[in-house]
Amino acid sequence: MSAGDRAGEGGGAGVESAEALLAAIAGGDRGALASFYRLFHGRIYAFVLKRVAEPALAADILNDVMLQVWRHAARFEGRSSAMTWVLGIAHHKVGDALRRRGREAGHEELDEHMADEAAPAAFDLLSGLEDAGAVRRCLERLSDAHREVVHLAFFEDLSYPEIARIVDCPLGTVKTRMMHAKNALKRCLQGLLEGGR
Amino acid sequence: MNTRDTSSHPEDLLPWYVNGTLEGAEREAVARHLETCPRCRDEVAWLARLREQVKEAAPGATPGELGLRRLLREVEAEAPAPRRREWWRPALAAAVVVIVIQSVLLVRPWVDDGAGIVPLGGSRGGAVIQVEFRPQATEAQIREVLQAVEGTIVDGPGALGVYRVRLEGEGDQRRRLEEAVARLRARGDVVIHVAAD
């Protein structure tokens, strides 16, 4: 029985089996690669799609990420979880793709500037979060770097040190980006709420 | 009324309190603060609702099994698998060393002042260089040196473990090429060999 067979059982493989899969992939086990893909492709695709907003491009990047896993699984050192490692690869692949597309995160300054302004109080805006469409629109308006941190914190439920490893930046930068993202979201939701009145 | 007094309100840690990844002293400090701070409790409630919305906004369709078939097709085209080529890697590495030494002694090649380096000047972005990394170099180290020269891996590793790296960015391509080659050679802890493509 290959590592791929073992990890594929039950569909709920934990950290240990994901690491076993990477070890098997490093040894050329294509079944392990297929199991790894089935375990993680949904989350990687969601992460990439949130940043590039184009399903076809996101699918291409997912494929590139998995090819990178195939070629370089031996470089996984177990210092982070397999998911953190592969999201780090995806982070850089998306950055390359955005640069090629010529629209690398260009809204950071706007969001940074906006974050200096007082954000509306959280209590006043709880109702704004009940409108899923409004939340989605406001998330889409965030800069790439801010949207990425929100996704990793609240979709992936990762700690800020894990996010710092993935996006390759200092811990303080992760926390600052999250603060700015949160304030920009509040202002956006407030604007939509007021516009709807 | 909201202020940005983060010295008394641990705003920057609340997202990670909400996603359950805050640990130890930080988690205890935030929990203690929340007992007496209605404003931060509102903030936590807002962030918790935002987290739910982010999770609900997961993409519906993913590349799924079609994406897996595409991946395995490309892996097949890339054969041989990683493990199979590992046994002759040391021999090839030795061969590369011999070639490099011969080049230095006999031909005065890529180690000179870079005057002989001619960028490709092709239509797809910047100049392309060949780089061979040390086998023990980590992904983080490789990423670091590539980012320092704004390089993107466009091909490889080839049979000899050599990658082709395109130098992104604007400006005098010849000058950028010379600077990149110099920078990479200075990182002997990561890079074994670098030459113009």
Residue at token pair 């309190």? B17
Q: Is residue B3 part of a domain?
A: no
**Residue that finishes a domain, picked among A101, A124, A155:** A101
- Cβ atoms of A177 and A188 within 8 Å: the answer is no
Structure tokens at B59: 């993409």
Amino acid in position B187: R
Would an 8 Å CB–CB cutoff place A23 in contact with chain B? no
In this prediction, residue B106 carries a pLDDT of 59
Q: Is residue B17 part of a domain?
A: yes
Residues A113 and A79 in one domain: no
Q: Could you tell me if the ipTM is greater than 0.90?
A: no
Residue A169: pLDDT band by 50, 70, 90 thresholds?
very high
> Distances from the Cα of B74 to the Cαs of A55, A70, B71, in angstroms?
20, 11, 5
Amino acid in position A152: L
What are the residue ranges of helices labelled H in chain B? 14-18, 24-36, 38-56, 64-77, 82-86, 89-102, 139-148, 173-186
Please report the DSSP string for A93-127 in residue order.
Answer: HHHHHHHHHT-----HHHHHHHHTSPPPPHHHHGG
Lowest mean per-residue pLDDT among A78-82, A148-152, B25-29: A78-82
Chain A residues with CB inside 8 Å of B16's CB? 153, 159-160
Non-local CB neighbours of A148 within 8 Å, separated by 6+ positions: A47, A50, A51, A91, A167
* Segments of chain B scoring below 70 in pLDDT: 1-7, 80-92, 100-125, 158-161, 197
Which tens digits make up the pLDDT trace of B141-195? 888 899 888 888 887 776 556 788 888 877 777 888 888 888 888 888 888 888 8
Residue at token pair 């999250």? A178
In whole angstroms, give the CA distance from residue A137 to residue A130: 13
Query: Across the strands, what pairs with A188?
Result: none
Q: Is residue B35 part of a domain?
A: yes
Residues B96 and B180 in one domain: yes
Residues A70 and A123 in one domain: no
Exposure string of A27-59, with b = 16+ CB inside 10 Å and e = fewer, is bbbbbbbbbbbbbbbbbbbbbbbbbbeeeebbb
Residues A124 and A83 in one domain: no
- Cβ atoms of A171 and A160 within 8 Å: the answer is yes
> Between A77, A159, A179, which is nearest B12 by CB?
A179
Residues A91 and A116 in one domain: no
Backbone angles phi and psi of B57, in degrees to 5: -90, 25
Residues A52 and A135 in one domain: no
* Torsion angle defined by CA atoms of residues B84, B88, B93 and B99, in that order, rounded to the nearest 10 degrees: -120
> Between B21, B42, B62, which is nearest A41 by CB?
B62
**Residue that finishes a domain, picked among A77, A101, A125:** A101
Structure tokens at A64: 């590139």
Q: Is residue B75 part of a domain?
A: no
Please give the mean pLDDT across all residues of chain A: 82
Name the residue among B138, B81, B134 with its Cα closest to residue A76.
B138
In whole angstroms, give the CA distance from residue A107 to residue A196: 25
Query: Residue B80, preceding bond cis, omega within 30 degrees?
Result: yes
In this prediction, residue B108 carries a pLDDT of 47
Residues B43 and B122 in one domain: no
Residues B43 and B99 in one domain: no
Residues A10 and A91 in one domain: yes
Beta carbons of A62 and B157 less than 8 Å apart:
no
Residues A115 and A95 in one domain: no
- Cβ atoms of B82 and A43 within 8 Å: the answer is no
Domain that residue A139 falls in: 108-196
Residues B22 and B105 in one domain: no
Residues A128 and A190 in one domain: yes
Non-local CB neighbours of A4 within 8 Å, separated by 6+ positions: A21, A24, A29, A30, A31, A32, A33, A34, A35, A36
Domain that residue B39 falls in: 11-56
B 109-128 → A contacts, CB under 8 A: none
> Between A26, A34, A49, which is nearest B72 by CB?
A34
The C-alpha of A52 sits at a distance from chain B's nearest C-alpha, in angstroms, of: 13
What is the count of structural domains for chain B? 2
Beta carbons of A63 and B70 less than 8 Å apart:
yes
In this prediction, residue A118 carries a pLDDT of 63
Chain B residues with CB inside 8 Å of A179's CB? 11-12
**Residue that finishes a domain, picked among A101, A118, A140:** A101
Residues A117 and A91 in one domain: no
Mean pLDDT along residues A45-73: 93
Residue at token pair 């609240």? A154
Tell me: pLDDT of A24 over 70. Answer: yes
Q: Is residue B73 part of a domain?
A: no
Residues A90 and A122 in one domain: no
Q: Nearest chain B residue to A50 by CA: give it.
A: B59
Q: Are strands B128-133 and B151-155 parallel, antiparallel or unpaired?
A: unpaired
> Distances from the Cα of B82 to the Cαs of A68, A69, A89, B159, in angstroms?
12, 11, 18, 11
Q: Are strands B191-196 and B128-133 parallel, antiparallel or unpaired?
A: antiparallel
Query: Residue A55, preceding bond cis, omega within 30 degrees?
Result: no
Query: What CATH number is associated with residue A7?
Result: 1.10.1740.10
What is the count of structural domains for chain A? 2
Mean pLDDT along residues A134-144: 89
Backbone angles phi and psi of A179, in degrees to 5: -60, -45
Residues A36 and A121 in one domain: no
In this prediction, residue A136 carries a pLDDT of 87
What are the residue ranges of helices labelled H in chain A? 3-8, 15-26, 30-52, 55-72, 82-101, 108-115, 122-125, 132-141, 144-154, 160-167, 171-196
> Distances from the Cα of A177 to the Cαs of A98, A153, B61, B74, in angstroms?
19, 11, 29, 37
Chain A residues with CB inside 8 Å of B7's CB? none
Q: Is B172 helix (H, G, I), strand (E, B) or coil?
A: coil
Residues B39 and B128 in one domain: no
